[in-house]
Amino acid sequence: MEYLLPATVPLLLLGADLRRVVSTTGDLLKAFLIGSVATTIGTTIAYLLVPMRSLGQDSWKIAAALMGSYIGGAVNYVAISEALGVSPSVLAAGVAADNIISALYFMTLFSLATKIPAEAKTAQDGATGDGEAEGRSRLSVLNGGAAVALSFVICKAGSAMAKQLGLQGGTLPCVTALVVVLATAFPRLLGRLAPSGETIALILMQVFFTVVGANGNLVDAVTKAPSVFAFALVQVLPPLDKTPTRRVLRGNLANVTHVIGHSSTEGKSSLDT
């Protein structure tokens, strides 16, 4: 995960032009922000109900890492854990609990999504979809190689920036900031590489899901740190709307790594979600 995650982030965000994101996300951005705030509030309540005192100083650290996981996915979990110095045993217990609880939670969301009729496409959505279909048809080895090479350069620059600023565990935030700035400054140039980069990133994310999932162990979660399992369970019990839309459900996903899995099942790009 030390090398796979940083390399995947730029590939996913090559098309992350902030101007386009703000102008096209609409209600989805609102749902994401509400979901993020709700996750923060839910984490605070869960920590008051299940303080995990047996973990000592690691209690609030793993709580913060799990909160980051439910907002930004496993990428955030790893970054926050590294930055706060979570002990390896507690980190492993958190991964186990997170995998199990998240699997149940997202299975519920995906199940709800299958029962909701597809949303009607607007003229803007149709135009965007045509453009993306055209972009996907231009996938090439050259663009893929250029995207991977650029990803490595951005990762190296992000790592150097984090060291220069003295940010422990700050590589992923620096990498994310750099690629978003570049994508916003040069939308056409990086936009040409985005379809190839996203395809490669999806493959890498499947490897990532496999590696992280293999670390999940129900016995470890319940026996080694039952308080972490109980905390994670309370943390992800927000009330769902009785009549949720697909966009609201995607907002409930509230993170990059899991929303990719959902969007890919519907044939959408990561930026669509």
Tokens 């900031």: give the residue. 177
Residue 273 lies in a domain: no
CB atoms within 10 A of CB 231: 25
Query: For residues 251 and 34, what is the distance between their CA atoms, to the nearest angstrom?
Result: 8
- Residue pLDDT, tens place only, 19-74: 887 787 777 777 778 878 888 888 999 999 998 888 888 999 999 999 988 887 77
Give ∠ CA 246-252-253 in degrees, rounded to 5. Answer: 95
pLDDT-based confidence at residue 141 (cuts at 50, 70, 90): confident
Number of domains comprising the chain: 1
Give me the mean pLDDT over the 84-89 stretch: 83
The residues near 162 (Cβ < 8 Å, ≥ 6 apart) are: 169, 170, 171, 173, 174
Helices 4-12 and 74-84: crossing angle in degrees, nearest 10, is 130
Residues 90 and 220: their CA atoms lie apart, in Å, by 10
- Output the average pLDDT for the chain: 76
Burial class (CB in 10 A: 0-12, 13-18, 19+), 136: middle
Does residue 273 register a pLDDT over 50? no
pLDDT digits (tens, 9 = 90+) for 150-176: 999 999 999 999 899 888 778 888 998
Residue 160: what pLDDT? 92
- Residue 73 gets the label, from left (phi > 0), alpha (psi -120 to 50) or beta, of left
Indicate whether 35 belongs to any domain.
Answer: yes
What count of residues does the chain have?
273
Binned at pLDDT 50, 70 and 90, residue 179 comes out as very high
Q: Is residue 137 part of a domain?
A: yes
Whole-prediction pTM: 0.67
Question: Do residues 7 and 153 make contact, with C-beta atoms less than 8 angstroms apart?
Answer: no
Q: Check whether 2 has a pLDDT greater than 50.
A: yes
Domain presence at residue 29: yes
| Residue 146: inside a domain | yes
- Amino acid at the residue 155: C
Question: Is 183 domain-assigned?
Answer: yes
Of 233, 256, 267, 262, the residue nearest 110 (C-alpha): 262
* Residue 45 lies in domain: 4-265
Q: 249 lies in a domain? A: yes
Q: With pLDDT > 70 as the criterion, what percentage of the chain qualifies?
A: 70
Confidence at residue 161, expressed as pLDDT on a 0 to 100 scale: 92
What's the pLDDT score for residue 224? 61
pLDDT tens, residue by residue, 202-254: 888 777 767 765 665 666 656 666 888 888 888 877 544 444 555 555 555 54
Does residue 271 form part of some domain?
Answer: no
pLDDT computed for residue 19 by the predictor? 86
